[in-house]
Structure 1
Amino acid sequence: MELGLKGKVAIITGGSKGIGLATALLLAAEGAEVTIVAREAESLRRSAEQIKEQTGKDALAISADVSRPEEAARAVAETVARFGGVNILVNNAGTSAARPFEQVETDAWTADLDLKLFGAVQFSRAVLPHMRQAGGGAIVNVTAVGGKTPGASSLPTSVSRAAGLALTKAMSKDLAADRIRVNAVCIGLIRSAQIERMWQAKAPELSWDEFAADARHGIPLGRIGNAQEAANVIGFLVSEAASFVTGTSVNIDGGISAVL
């Protein structure tokens, strides 16, 4: 399927590893120009080199704190100066923070919302003039299945992710007239540094494949997913193949969620 991404310009926050990097690689391979944004300069440098080696594209790597509006504005301005505009935004920056309600201090609530919710808000606001100038665009907010079905000891992450879903739906209504589509993906268990740490802590005697397929994870498809599988869905949602899709969320969780 032709995704229609050649010549498009994409910004991916949290783009130096995991789902963000896999998405950057996919979009670059499809012909898009990509900017990857993260805090760690060295990780960004290595990821930009990987994108160049695998796709031939010179990615723009920007070290920035996505929760700060001035940093978001700078990253977008540098992208426009380099590539001439912005067509795609993937709000992927985030960390896992899951504790019981009484253990979450005010500062932790603020930090989580600043990163996961307001980070998406800041970047979305910064790209809107450029998407309007281009005649449209696509935004994908990367959230988690816990935002739909919060469990015990899932705070503050589940609340931040639920807010991201509400943001997605509201933005999709407001921006549809500008031909700017806004969707979300809800991530379940996807291989990451955090999941690998869980593997080493709980079952170091198992190979990765054995751990990923452990029935105790409760995943109907029988295994933990990988970043490429998430990137494939994101790539579709930002592409012309999804030109009539907006205001929706897609679970990338192997069927584990109890809700659509």
Structure 2
Amino acid sequence: MSGEFPQGAAIVFGGSGGIGRGVAIEFARAGTAVAVVYRSKRDVAEQVADTIRDYGVAASVHGIDVCNRGEVVTGFAEAVAAHGRVHTVVWGAGPVVPQVRIADWDEAMFRRSMEIEAFGFNNAVHTALPHMRASGGGSFVHLGSAGHDWWPALDGLSVAPKACNEALIKGIAKEEGVNEIRANSILVGVIDAGQFKIGQEAGTFTPEWEAAVKAMLPLKRWGTPEDIGQAAVFSPGGAAITSPVRRLRLLAASVSDHPPHFHKLGPRPISPGEAADREALRHLVAAYGHGIDRRDWALVRSLYHDDGIDDHAPYFTGSADDYVAWLPGMMANWRATSHAMLSALYVFDGDHAQGEVVARAWHLTADGTRQFVAWGRYADKYERRDGVWRFAHRSFILDHAEDLPAAAGDDFGSAGVGTGSAGPDDPVYARLPLFELERTSCL
């Protein structure tokens, strides 16, 4: 790949990282010298520099803590001294961040991410701008995140500081274009290096997750550091760029725009992991109906988290413990009940999910003279804790109710058929001994 660069070098912050290495080498392939910046991995930086020199261009390595403005100034000056000029600043420095929900960040996590990525980039910008102005121009290339346009669950500690840098890139382009200084950003998706490799080893990115994400990619493969490097070389060196700011989207291996958006309640690819989660919720919902109809209060209680809430307003609203304590008195009004779950829709967000469960609840009065049928929907909130899905909050929406007389007699030849019971003497326990074993083991 070739590019049109002036004399001097590109300085790559994060040049010893998984993506940074690929970027630095692509600049060398394009024919320009490279200053490789590292924080702690000097041996890796030296290996990158040796590879760069194999392409017949100069290379230097510079140990810099980007959070320290003084070290940035000193290291940048050393790069200028080694190469005569720095024409391009590539920002690829950043910490390996935990994959957690925003609500679970602590201040130290967020501060560390912002100090390295946002304050660090600001240090590089304010160090390089005077030099670029004096040298007749230059270019900034920021390696951002595809999450800036399409939020990835759990990756906020990476996305948020890069969003700050996105704004800074736009500002540089607006204010410094008159000084022949360009500013471009590459929105990086899943790249087979760096943070992604660490996440794979930690089990954060499961095979099910990978299958679901790859299903949305036109090229059906992960991106590579070389892909990002080629885009980075194009950004400052390509004559085709006429705008002062350009945002290239590299969503994994694809250089297309956003991945297709699927309405979560509509047809879409479903990973094996999500399919298993859906089955777990279906089991949870079915177990609720069984527990209520068979008056298995221990089972019902086990379906809720300890801080779970049940809302059957206006009759009851309260904790799971209080709900189970209230149920026996309430259910004594009915000789028999049958809770049927007719259909369900679920939406997942990590370890949280919500469901709309269409249900029919039939009740026969204690004297057997009337039947009450409630048609409605459960609005459920679920949480997975320690790998197990339970109700965090369950409420009922009544769509229609029927209060009807109950016909007596044997009009349809039911003599001799096993008759259901609301309690432990129901025939199901005699016919399905595993069910009886589970009920008695919880007593």
Q: Please indicate, yes or no, whether the TM-score normalized by the shorter chain is above 0.5.
A: yes
CA contact (8 A) 2:2 2:29 kept: no
1:87 has 2:87 as partner: yes
CA contact (8 A) 2:25 2:48 kept: no
SS in 1 for 2:239: helix
Q: Which residue of 2 aligns with 1:50?
A: 51
Counterpart Cα distance in 1 of 2:210 and 2:160: 29
The change in CA–CA distance for 1:80 and 1:116 in structure 2 (over 3 A counts) is same
CA contact (8 A) 1:87 1:130 kept: no
Q: Which residue of 1 aligns with 2:430?
A: none
Q: Return the letter of the residue paired with 1:57.
A: V
CA contact (8 A) 1:143 1:161 kept: yes
Counterpart Cα distance in 1 of 2:248 and 2:194: 23
The superposition leaves residues 164-205 of structure 1 with CA deviations (integer Å, 9 ceiling, x where unpaired) of 1111111111111111000100100111043334445659xx
SS in 2 for 1:248: strand
* Percent sequence identity over aligned pairs: 25
Unaligned 5+ residue runs, structure 1? none
Q: Which residue of 2 aligns with 1:250?
A: 248
The change in CA–CA distance for 1:122 and 1:216 in structure 2 (over 3 A counts) is closer
The superposition leaves residues 195-216 of structure 1 with CA deviations (integer Å, 9 ceiling, x where unpaired) of 334445659xx9xxxx998455
Q: Return the letter of the residue paired with 1:159.
A: A
**What is the CA-CA distance between 1:125 and the residue it aligns to?**
1.0
Counterpart Cα distance in 1 of 2:209 and 2:111: 33
CA contact (8 A) 1:8 1:31 kept: no
Question: RMSD between aligned alpha carbons?
Answer: 2.6
Q: How does 1:196-235 map to 2 (within 5 A)?
A: 196-200=197-201, 214=211, 216-221=213-218, 222-235=220-233
Q: Which one has the bigger strand percentage?
A: 2
Q: How does 1:1-260 map to 2 (within 5 A)?
A: 2-5=2-5, 7-39=7-39, 40-53=41-54, 55-97=55-97, 98-200=99-201, 214=211, 216-221=213-218, 222-253=220-251, 254=254, 255=256, 257-258=258-259
Q: Return the letter of the residue paired with 1:233.
A: A
Rg larger for: 2
Q: Return the letter of the residue paired with 2:12.
A: I
Counterpart Cα distance in 2 of 1:177 and 1:110: 34
The superposition leaves residues 82-117 of structure 1 with CA deviations (integer Å, 9 ceiling, x where unpaired) of 111211110111134231122211111111011111
Deviates more, 1:131-140 or 1:92-101: 92-101
SS in 2 for 1:87: strand
Q: Return the letter of the residue paired with 1:22.
A: G
SS in 1 for 2:86: coil
Which structure carries more relative contact order (alpha carbon 8 Å, separation 6+)? 1
The superposition leaves residues 116-140 of structure 1 with CA deviations (integer Å, 9 ceiling, x where unpaired) of 1111111111111111112111111
Counterpart Cα distance in 2 of 1:3 and 1:188: 24
Counterpart Cα distance in 2 of 1:149 and 1:73: 35
**What is the CA-CA distance between 1:231 and the residue it aligns to?**
0.8
SS in 2 for 1:156: helix
Deviates more, 1:133-142 or 1:188-197: 188-197
Q: Return the letter of the residue paired with 2:90.
A: V
The change in CA–CA distance for 1:19 and 1:197 in structure 2 (over 3 A counts) is closer
* TM-score w.r.t. length of structure 1: 0.87
Q: Which one has the bigger helix percentage?
A: 1
CA contact (8 A) 2:186 2:232 kept: yes
**What is the CA-CA distance between 1:240 and the residue it aligns to?**
4.4
